[in-house]
Structure 1
């Protein structure tokens, strides 16, 4: 079976079908391209047994793929309680390990910045996936109390395990820059929300390493074609050829060393839970050598 690290299309389909270990998927759209196309792809890729709770701030009618439809125009605390009433309790989630639950939010901009962390962390879990759309062109109101607080998009990008950004598809960088300049002036060209669009996927591993891939997507055929960037075709900057002749010793890394580097698990996902504060996360292993009688060498 091909590795998802070297097959971007497989990785994207795993994220959309909720088979990837992504508890919080953030979709970023703009006035040039709506992110609802990603919701349709998730509904197409998700299994029939998936329970989808749709939280609406902008949608008037219940989508066909939604199991439950919730009006989000209430207080954040009441909204959180309403959503959790459709989700399994921690005890029941262990018993129903095969079932999947997906919470879809069509505009997470409507959640106040001061409530975002609590809202996301209490919904996203190993048994519940959270998929939220953020409109990056919508101005954010920031009160005086949150002046030194991170913005909503900064918090969401930090907490998200996968980030999907959708843009109108363009043939080259020049056309993309001209289109972006026109959109800033509210000059709307035709065909912005066509069936073909550009998708940028950023997937974070458990170690915190981010993999970014670009795709040309077609919502009619449900196809995802990876886009090869110029910087990808130049080769690996860490390869031995880039250091050849510069030193008298080898600074390159072998394929085995690169594979071992990718498998190193750092406490990145543990930091996203906001429960450990500034503590160092350490997992004790049986091969660790320490003196049980010395309290200063106690790994715990």
Structure 2
């Protein structure tokens, strides 16, 4: 792909992510956010809540374990201990009147955020009809669902019974990934940088958390001060993999870096939404492809061993260095090429002849002279 087309595709993917976060033009009726114990999806959920609040959208927060309502949520609904019909009726009862009617205009947008879909997938009354339950909440294009699924938490599926669950049904995660129109996968930025460095050095990539396979207590991510940062990483950033499924069936996939400053006591919710920064992963210094003039050992992407461009007389050169220093240029200009005198015009038809001076150890042969 040409560089201009690739740049256009990446810019288009960045605009799609901004459109998804701002809930513009019904970009995604159902957005699935996949996280792990090593990297929580809480910063992405806070971004959805902050932008929805800034655009005066109604936010419904469906809690599975949290007891306190978030600041940016308008309605706080507790999902535990409720059947599918009761939970659906309570959620739809908070929709604006213009949202439930088809003859009215666009009306107010509604954002329904599920704190965790894992308890819903484990519920006997919802697990077998999870797709039908989520689809019934999207009554109009003005309603958007955002759900978080913890991929490394095992589900305790109900026992097979004719009333609720069938053992031959697909896993709830398979159903959700098939049903979602946008999938966001979050991972830790520092861990991605360490994996990139290991790949550049042809080393085995390190593992963290449950992937290590070690027995004991999972401590999680902590910074140098011993406190967990807001986004789960030391530098306040995470890696965000987006898979956007368009109406035409074409999928747009791109990887970004989502960075937001740590929360403070004076930071408001709207200010939080405006201070986040989203850019492509390829623009990060640890993942950026070095330019041709930087490929001579500058930065992370240079040759192994940290060889520098030979700017001085003793500069170490590698086989990847195609440039010449000033001293090398002067030395090359001072070299006298062999048979240089034969290239001059000595006479008519004599240009290009080979001039050879016999040495003391040469044995002159008359037959070779005749040839």
Aligned residue in 2 for 1:190: 222
Structure 2 distance, partners of 1:4, 1:99, is 32
Displacement of 1:25 in angstroms is 0.6
Aligned residue in 1 for 2:40: 34
Aligned residue in 2 for 1:133: 148
Aligned residue in 1 for 2:58: 51
Aligned residue in 2 for 1:60: 67
Displacement of 1:126 in angstroms is 1.0
Aligned residue in 2 for 1:79: 87
Number of residue equivalences: 232
Secondary structure in structure 1 of the residue aligned to 2:33: strand
Aligned residue in 2 for 1:119: 133
- Give the TM-score, by structure 2 length: 0.57
Structure 1 distance, partners of 2:155, 2:94, is 30
Structure 1 distance, partners of 2:142, 2:251, is 23
- Give the TM-score, by structure 1 length: 0.69
Displacement of 1:130 in angstroms is 0.4
Structure 2 distance, partners of 1:32, 1:183, is 12
Displacement of 1:96 in angstroms is 4.1
Contact 1:93 1:127 in 2 (8 A): no
Displacement of 1:164 in angstroms is 0.7
**For 1:1-300, what aligned pairs fall within 5 Å after superposition?**
6-19=11-24, 20-46=26-52, 47-73=54-80, 74-88=82-96, 92=101, 94-111=103-120, 112=123, 113-124=127-138, 125-142=140-157, 143-144=159-160, 145-169=165-189, 170=191, 171-173=193-195, 174=198, 177-179=206-208, 184-185=213-214, 186=218, 188-191=220-223, 193-194=232-233, 195-220=236-261, 221-228=275-282
Displacement of 1:166 in angstroms is 0.9
Secondary structure in structure 2 of the residue aligned to 1:15: helix
Q: Tell me which moved more, 106-115 or 157-166.
A: 106-115
Cα 1:183–1:130 change in 2 (3 A) is farther
Displacement of 1:127 in angstroms is 1.7
- Structure 1's unaligned 5+ residue stretches are 234-300
Contact 1:182 1:188 in 2 (8 A): no
Structure 2 distance, partners of 1:176, 1:67, is 44
Structure 1 distance, partners of 2:154, 2:206, is 22
Secondary structure in structure 2 of the residue aligned to 1:201: strand
Cα 1:182–1:148 change in 2 (3 A) is closer
Q: Larger Cα Rg: Structure 1 or Structure 2?
A: 2
Cα 1:49–1:94 change in 2 (3 A) is farther
Contact 1:13 1:45 in 2 (8 A): no
Displacement of 1:140 in angstroms is 1.3
Q: Tell me which moved more, 45-54 or 103-112.
A: 45-54
Displacement of 1:78 in angstroms is 0.7
Cα 1:31–1:181 change in 2 (3 A) is closer
Contact 2:10 2:254 in 1 (8 A): no
Contact 1:4 1:11 in 2 (8 A): no
Structure 2 distance, partners of 1:154, 1:228, is 30
Q: Deviations over 1:20-76 (max 9, x none)?
A: 520001111110111111111112222432000111112111011101111111222
Aligned residue in 1 for 2:350: none
